[in-house]
Structure 1
């Protein structure tokens, strides 16, 4: 089993045999033979030969973050206070990010809220909650009590993107880890994913600004902030990933447990195509 840089796609299997295990397939032959790791996990991602997985920690309803080497062996673990929701790795493999659902925040009325954190493996520095970062965001209050952050992803080891929610609205934020600060870029942008060339962001946007109506996959041009809806018209509740500079890949549910990875052109043309059957949580391992 190999998650080192190469011409492969990493994913979490949703097939009946090997459900929940991490696998890889060869780019260009994604529906062909797959290699599976023996470890089960809830979310997985990898870059530059280093992986992150969020997985159950024993028989109780607790979870942990596991740091993976290129062979997908667990090298270190950290407890998570919440239910895993998203995971990402910086392009260098040095910085890990995660999002979990938590309960108990007074403003939620007993519903779930989120916590997003980071771990720099090169320095050992940890950010337990990105909610502690000051965010400049137009007319929104500077320190609103209902702030939630999720879907953290990286441009590099210092610059990150994420979704911020407050006052019933969702924003794309761009942040600097060293400066411990962030700023809003656009409204109604969730679960961002930067393109390999760093010029665009793939994301899901709530239809009509209302998540109850579902989501539409789109791409945001970072130089103009213009957005382009993609040819995938199904509601996709996923943090998309880039197959290459011209193609987006993402998971589409077929029920509670079943999912497939699909792909669609990043310029809004073409039609969606099935990429990896019985899979979710894809990551391209080219870097």
Structure 2
């Protein structure tokens, strides 16, 4: 995944087309590049190789927030900032990504919707888990116990109306600095950011920062340790083999209700819910 850009468009509007960076996901099975430096996050580390205690503790807490017994690995890797763990001589360019560093963990977040969303640029700390509770608040839905995030009341205008439609757009690999670097190339996104609520201090607070984990966190408002999607490729303790997040497009691995599920229950099946993605893990 790397970075995820989330746009939430509320009401009735026209949304311009935008493209995201292409991502390659594959679980790393072996490490062959001996010249590559990496830091092993484990309970036992030597004095010379371990990062500062505060940084190490932060990484451990991020891993713990996404640890799901029977699916997560037992050894967690954090590459040195700016580097990746590669598999040599692989034609598919397999690599391990999803780090705690800014280029992976700092993400843009924009809400837009006349009559529903307040215009402004906000610096309060925000995480992906806050998106679903915010949208649930707009739909007057009760927050389920599985949601660990909070509603971002800063972005919401007071109204007695419910939005007719909500469009959630996630651009995989869209780094936060792209919004400023490529302003002229993205006029629609630039306008939505300027006229809506833009949260400039949004970060991913779990590891690994991968596509399937991020999308599941956004739509459920839950930590990965609760919703169960811990990686793009997970371990199936029943079969003893690796498996994708959604094998055969089944949602069986998702252990928390999504915002769409909650709205479908609220409307007794009369709601119209559409999801589209390039791969199962992104949908």
TM-score, scaled relative to structure 2: 0.25
Larger Rg: 2
**Higher RCO structure, 1 or 2 (CA under 8 Å, sep 6+):** 2
TM-score, scaled relative to structure 1: 0.25
Which has the larger helix fraction? 2
